[in-house]
Structure 1
Amino acid sequence: MKKVKVEEAVGKLFAHDLTKIVPGEFKGARFKKGEIIKEEDIKELKSMGKNHVFILDMKEDEYHENDAALRIAKASRGEGIRLEGPKEGKMTLVAEKKGLLKIDLEQLYKVNDLDQLMYATIHQNTVVEEGKALAGTRIIPLTIKKAPIDTVENLLLREQSQNNPMIYVKELIPYKIGIVVTGTEVFEGRIQDRFGPVLEKKAEEYGGVFHKMVYAKDEEEDIKEKIEELIRDGAEMIMTSGGMSVDADDVTPLAIKNTADQVVTYGSSVLPGAMFMLAYKGEIPILGIPACGMYHRITILDLVLPRVMAKETITKKDINQLAHGGLCQNCAVCHYPICPLGKA
């Protein structure tokens, strides 16, 4: 790469994209890398404040910014991601489908340990829609020595070959979800159920399929029987609503415990959602949702349910690690998931 006056660059090739900005109207590449510089381009270049330009004069042991970014982006991506670019030296990684974003943070940090290379992502465990920008990568200078890029590329490809890509989107499994609404007052029709519809909507929001809703009294055996009824009827995941606190009539945790083969946790390090419960009967997840799930827009359920839907094995440690960033700020206008909740 060589710096020359624009008048001396005619007939040569641009070494990189040149960005033009018209405030409020346009920002983008006016001239592209590899484009031949013409006599009539001189006036436009000078209007952009360019009296000198870089022309391609690369050595054999160097990569251009576009080539370096493309190599790193290709080596890092896994399933569910497409590449856009390079544009102005940057590669963008975009979701090909709705799913749960997963990132190997150790690999991400190793990539960024390389001088003159950057790789930025959104937070992992975010539910993303098709077309969502997930990450961007580029080198800082216009050219870079091949050796360090090759080293990082090989590291990423090695992990990829072991089914451990740095960044990918996991499919959300369309579980058939059965809901047990607890509460004698609801069962007997003294008050209207407002919790069940909330859980039905939440289940479908994260890719689940509503299967069936049943009602149970505040009695351990009745709740247990209703859970087992839904499982016999083909439900692949169970949600229970309410009855999760220490009140005398709240027996849902006991019913879940005596139905399940494994209890992962009763209690979480997230507010709202401290009384949350997660258990399994065989491979069927059972989620006990405390009353906060009825009136708070976002709770522990929004942090855990997508990971369950992605068929991840959730541990007590996973729940505990939500503590850092686990306090909802109750903002006047909720912007979740663009907020700190659940982000370490």
Structure 2
Amino acid sequence: MRKVPVTGAVGMVLGHDITRIVPGREKNRAFKKGHVIRETDIEALRNLGKEHIYVWEPGENMVHEDEAALRLAGAAAGQGLAMNGPNQGKVALRATHKGLLKVDIDRLNSVNSIEDMVFSTLHNNRGVEEGQTVAGTRVTPLAVPGDKLEEAERICSRPGPLIYVKPFNPLWVAVVTTGNEVYSGRIQDASFGMIRNKVTPFGGRVMGQSIVPDDQDLITGEIRRFIAEGAEMVLTSGGMSVDPDDVTPPGIRATGAEVVFYGAPVLPGSMFMLAYLGHVPICGLPGCVMYNSTTILDLLLPRFFAGERVSRADVVAMGHGGLCEECEICRYPSCSFGKSTGA
């Protein structure tokens, strides 16, 4: 790149985008990099406050910002992502399907530790929609040394992609609702509709609901029955507190499932229980799931439907960012809830 006076730039190749900003009204690209400067452009450039511009003169081992951004994005992107741009030196990555965003945070930090490299993403383990922008990358100067870019590319691509989107898998979901008061008809169950609304956006197919009293053996039997009939996830509602009549946790344990945790550093949702019988997650849902719009269940469902097995370490990491602010207008997932830096 070479800095030249605008008045002496006719016939030269513009080395960078030039932006026009009208305060409070618009921001757009007035001149695109690669544009060959004409005599008629001089006045327009000066009206934009440009007395000097950079013109492109490829140097030895230097890579233009557009090419550099394309190479970075291409090296980092795995399944479920498409590139858009470059636009003003930036390349965006968009999701090509709905799914769970996966970001290798350690490697992302390594890339951003290299001078002149910029790579920003949404949070790891966030559910994203088709067409949603999930990352953007660029280099800060108009050209970067090729060896520096190659170092960043190596980090982006090995081992495996730095960022990708895992598709959601349709799962058969069973619901076991416990409680003498519901079983006897004293109160009407409200959990089934809520659960169906939670799992349907991920492709969940509710295969049925069983309502049982507070009886450990019956709870155990219904969970096992549903799994034998093909359930790929079982959600239990009711009986998750420490009251003497609440026997859902021991009912889950008695299935022979491996309990990952009972009690999580997430509010609301601290009394959540997760166990696995083989590959099937069994979730004991606390009462807050019935009346809070966003809880630990919303943090875990995307991971279940993406086929991930959640570990105790995953749940422990949720404590940082695990406090929902319970905003009057819920903005989840576009908020801090569940966005642990270590997740």
Q: Normalising by the residue count of structure 2, what TM-score does the alignment of the two structures yield?
A: 0.96
1:37 deviation in Å?
1.2
Contact 2:240 / 2:285 at 8 angstroms: preserved in 1? yes
Contact 2:169 / 2:202 at 8 angstroms: preserved in 1? no
Q: 3-state SS of the aligned residue for 2:283?
A: strand
- Equivalent residue, structure 2, for 1:340: 336
1:206 deviation in Å?
3.0
1:7 deviation in Å?
2.1
Q: Give distance in 2, aligned partners of 1:157 and 1:298.
A: 35
1:154-233 to 2 correspondence within 5 Å? Answer: 154-159=154-159, 164-233=160-229
- Equivalent residue, structure 2, for 1:36: 36
**Corresponding residue to 1:299 among 287, 291, 295:** 295
Q: Give distance in 1, aligned partners of 2:321 and 2:144.
A: 38
1:281 deviation in Å?
1.3
Q: 3-state SS of the aligned residue for 1:131?
A: coil
Q: Which amino acid aligns with 1:115?
A: E
Bigger Cα displacement from structure 2, 293-302 vs 206-215: 206-215
Q: Which amino acid aligns with 2:215?
A: E
1:258-277 to 2 correspondence within 5 Å? Answer: 258-277=254-273
- Equivalent residue, structure 2, for 1:133: 133
Q: Which amino acid aligns with 2:223?
A: I
Contact 2:171 / 2:205 at 8 angstroms: preserved in 1? yes
- Equivalent residue, structure 2, for 1:107: 107
1:4-23 to 2 correspondence within 5 Å? Answer: 4-23=4-23
Q: Give distance in 2, aligned partners of 1:320 and 1:85.
A: 39
Render the CA deviation track for 1:160-218: whole Å, top value 9, x for unaligned.
xxxx3111111111101011111111112111111111111111133322221221111
- Equivalent residue, structure 2, for 1:314: 310
1:73 aligns with 2:69: no
Q: Give distance in 2, aligned partners of 1:147 and 1:196.
A: 58
1:232 deviation in Å?
2.8
Q: Which amino acid aligns with 1:96?
A: T
1:22-101 to 2 correspondence within 5 Å? Answer: 22-101=22-101
Q: Normalising by the residue count of structure 1, what TM-score does the alignment of the two structures yield?
A: 0.95
Bigger Cα displacement from structure 2, 314-323 vs 226-235: 226-235
Q: Where does the alignment leave 5 or more consecutive residues of structure 2 unmatched?
A: none
What is the number of equivalent residue pairs in this alignment?
A: 340
Q: Where does the alignment leave 5 or more consecutive residues of structure 1 unmatched?
A: none
Q: Give distance in 1, aligned partners of 2:92 and 2:183.
A: 52
Q: Which amino acid aligns with 2:329?
A: V
- Equivalent residue, structure 2, for 1:3: 3
Contact 2:111 / 2:155 at 8 angstroms: preserved in 1? no
Percent identical residues: 46
Q: Which amino acid aligns with 1:126?
A: R
Q: Which amino acid aligns with 1:323?
A: G
1:77 deviation in Å?
0.7
Q: Give distance in 2, aligned partners of 1:340 and 1:158.
A: 29
Contact 2:110 / 2:155 at 8 angstroms: preserved in 1? no
Q: Give distance in 1, aligned partners of 2:158 and 2:198.
A: 38
Contact 2:99 / 2:166 at 8 angstroms: preserved in 1? yes
Q: Give distance in 1, aligned partners of 2:127 and 2:200.
A: 13
Q: Which amino acid aligns with 1:308?
A: F
